[in-house]
Copies of this chain bind each other. A is one copy, B any other.
Amino acid sequence: MTISQVCSRYGLTPDTLRYYEKIGVIPEVHRTASGIRDYDEAAIGWVENAVCMRSAGVPVESIIEYVRLYQAGDTTLQARRDLLKDVHTSLLKQRQQMDAAIDRLSFKISRYDAALKTGVLSWEEEDGQ
């Protein structure tokens, strides 16, 4: 699979995918005799992993560290687990903060909807905003 095929599959640009490989977010991709990248199933699995983690806001450095540990072999199982756990924990925390913001927004939106329907701003003496 060529770089552009992988890109259109995951909504990335070739620049991004090369960048990911260069900095180690994904392992080095196999090349044809003339030096062109040819993504196999394993490579695509790594791309999928990168896309999933990045879209959730996981820093590239964490992904790089995991790839590094993975490539270092079986002696890093515990370290890999610990790293994944750390990332997991910080995502859970991040989600809590998102939930708080979502709740805040839901509340405000319903207040605006009420105001727009009745034509009355019903929260004058509250927190403003």
Contacts and interface: CB of A to CB of B under 8 A. Distances in A.
Contacts of A57: 57, 94, 98
Contact of A45 (B46, B115, B128): B128
Interface in A88-105: 88, 91-92, 94-95, 97-102, 104-105
Interface residues of A, number: 44
A113 B99 CA distance: 29
A72 interface: no
A101 B58 CA distance: 9
A42 B116 contact: no
A36 interface: no
Contacts of A84: 105, 108-109, 112
